Amino acid sequence: MPWIILPMPDGSLAPRGRGGHCMSSVGSKLIVFGGSDRAPLSYDDLWVLDTAEEHMHWTRMTPLSAPGCQILPRSGATLTAIGDLLYLYGGQEPLTEFRFGDTKVLDTRTWTWSNVEVQGPVPPPRHSHAAGMLAEQCLLVYGGSGYSDTLSDVWVLNPQQRCWRQVLVTGISPPGREMHSATMVGPTTMLVFGGRAGDGRVLSDAALLEAADMRWSVIEPTPFSRCAHTGVAVPSSPASSTSSSIQGEQQQQGPSRSMDVLIYGGFSGDAVEGDVIKIDGKTLDVELLQRSPREADKIAGTVPPARFAHGAAPVLCRTPQGHQSLAMAIFGGVTPAEDMRDVAFWIINN
């Protein structure tokens, strides 16, 4: 089986069970922020798991805050890595349904939060959107849930220029959505999959947003309806993907290097799912790699339980054999019975 299940630590040594958290990676470090339980109690804690260590363990960070910067508890935000900086955008306080429209940045070299002060227009507050790194230097945001409707807008944050810009995208637009995945399959190409439409439908389409000229290039139906799932980009031919930086690997793809997206978990409209699905980043062809776990898998502990509202990120993982392998890491999420706090790795290459 391609899954590695990390043994559960003692309760005080790991994040509490949660869903709606945001998760990213810098090198071999997985970083988890926020989320909420089903009470709903929202969180503002920050955790790091170094996957290069022989015995992986969580570390709860106590980050500094620059003057005037306050980090409030939230779920449904995004945490996007650009170099050593992590950009936190949006989210909501689930009890009051307050939507955040602020942008914060975490410097992982000093573990310091700062406000991102911008001039000019800003995106409407939202949660359950998706974001990615555009052209190695900007933040690309699509969709989400606003105060009055489900959004379909596209915004770009340029941190160096300290400004947001709403862009008009040509071509046939997919319907607005929330709880979708939007994964960068190239420096300027975002693959959007699934989510929930404003009328409550769980969507099954995949679309490519070509941000170099801001157009929707293709939209294709798939056999799988999903929302509150995750998408992680991995090289189509990952045999040499053991460099020291996942982000560097993605940045150096070039026009000829193809990327796939691994979709995991989510809600289909009928059930909570644990499938692993691969979508080709160029053709949008879909392949089911593994179905939701059977009871035997659950008992044996070889496959993580099906879930939604979890977090996922690509990371370089140390296997039990001592090898360094590219993996899709998942943490937490929600089942009908439980707020999860487990960690599992889908190994991409051995």
Q: What is the pLDDT of residues 101-130, one digit of tens each?
A: 999 999 999 999 999 999 999 999 999 999
Angle (CA) 195-130-95 rounded to 5° is: 80
Would you state the structure tokens that stand for residue 332, as one six-digit string?
């937490």
Predicted local confidence at residue 8, as pLDDT: 78
Burial class (CB in 10 A: 0-12, 13-18, 19+), 257: middle
Predicted local confidence at residue 319, as pLDDT: 79
d(CA 268, CA 289): 17
Backbone angles phi, psi at 223, to 5 degrees: -80, 0
d(CA 235, CA 247): 12
**Sheet-wide strand order for 181-186:** 181-186, 189-193, 205-210, 215-221
As its CATH architecture, domain 3-347 has 6 Propeller (2.120)
Which residues, 6 or more positions from 280, have their beta carbon under 8 angstroms from its beta carbon? 236, 258, 260, 286
The residues of the chain scoring below 70 in pLDDT are 1, 11, 237-257, 350
The amino acid that residue 192 corresponds to is V
Predicted local confidence at residue 239, as pLDDT: 41
Angle (CA) 336-337-342 rounded to 5° is: 100
Predicted local confidence at residue 249, as pLDDT: 46
Predicted local confidence at residue 252, as pLDDT: 44
Q: Which residue, among 88, 105, 333, 104, has the nearest Cα to 230 in the 3D structure?
A: 333
Predicted local confidence at residue 147, as pLDDT: 95
d(CA 178, CA 268): 14
Q: What is the DSSP letter of 196?
A: B
d(CA 343, CA 304): 8
Q: Which residue, among 332, 331, 330, 325, has the nearest Cα to 347 in the 3D structure?
A: 325
Angle (CA) 339-268-91 rounded to 5° is: 55
Predicted local confidence at residue 254, as pLDDT: 45
Backbone angles phi, psi at 203, to 5 degrees: -90, 155
